[in-house]
């Protein structure tokens, strides 16, 4: 049985958004900070579980949440960050990408952080690997 590959899950998320979202720059985890940009998004993900399933336990199921931090200029209200969140949600929520199934998106209250206004868009996902499915 193929094991859940968290690197491939992460790569699927990054590639899909990188190929389809060009409104603002994307910052990836553990990659240097941007200099002199007024707005950007940062990707994080949190894998939450992995279980065997099926009669012969030939499949594994994992799920998690993609956390998309949206950074915009301070003092301009929330319209810009909500516009970016809406664009991302329309792109990814309730979509199937490779073997990943994304759920409904939710936008969380913003805070001021390090010279930016930040809101977090959360999109849950699930992945089934093994059996007749291709690995992620």
**What pLDDT, on the 0 to 100 scale, is given for residue 89?**
97
Tell me the C-alpha distance between 76 and 83, whole Å.
Answer: 13
Instruction: Give the whole-angstrom CA distance, residue 40 versus residue 62.
Output: 29
Task: Give the pLDDT confidence of 13-53 residue by residue, as tens digits.
Answer: 999 999 999 999 999 888 877 778 999 999 988 876 666 65
The helix-helix angle for 79-92 and 6-20 (nearest 10°) equals 120
Q: What's the number of domains the chain is made of?
A: 1
Looking at the chain, the whole-number percentage of residues with pLDDT higher than 90 is 54
Asked whether residue 135 is domain-assigned, the answer is: no
The CATH number that applies at residue 49 is 3.30.2000.20
Residue 1 lies in a domain: no
32 found inside a domain: yes
Domain-located, residue 125: yes
Using DSSP, state whether 62 is helix, strand or coil.
Answer: strand
Q: Residue 129: its pLDDT value, please?
A: 73
Q: Give the residue numbers spanning the domain of 94.
A: 6-130
Can you give the pTM of this predicted structure?
0.84
Q: Looking at beta carbons, which pairs linking 80-85 to residues 24 or more positions away fall under 8 Å?
A: 80/39, 81/110, 81/117, 81/118, 81/119, 82/107, 82/119, 84/23, 84/24, 84/39, 84/41, 85/119, 85/121
């Amino acid at each position: 049985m193929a094991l859940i590959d968290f690197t491939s899950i992460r790569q699927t998320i990054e590639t899909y958004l990188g190929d389809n979202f060009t409104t603002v720059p994307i910052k990836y985890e553990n990659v240097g900070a941007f200099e002199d940009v007024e707005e950007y998004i940062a990707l994080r993900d949190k894998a939450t579980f992995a279980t065997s399933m099926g009669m012969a336990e030939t499949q594994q199921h994992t799920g998690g949440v993609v956390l998309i931090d949206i950074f915009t200029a301070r003092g301009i209200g929330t319209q810009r960050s909500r516009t970016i969140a809406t664009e991302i949600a329309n792109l990814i929520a309730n979509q199937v990408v490779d073997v990943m199934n994304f759920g409904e998106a939710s936008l969380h209250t913003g805070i001021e952080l390090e010279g930016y206004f930040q809101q977090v868009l959360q999109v849950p996902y699930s992945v089934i690997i093994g059996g007749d499915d291709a690995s992620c």
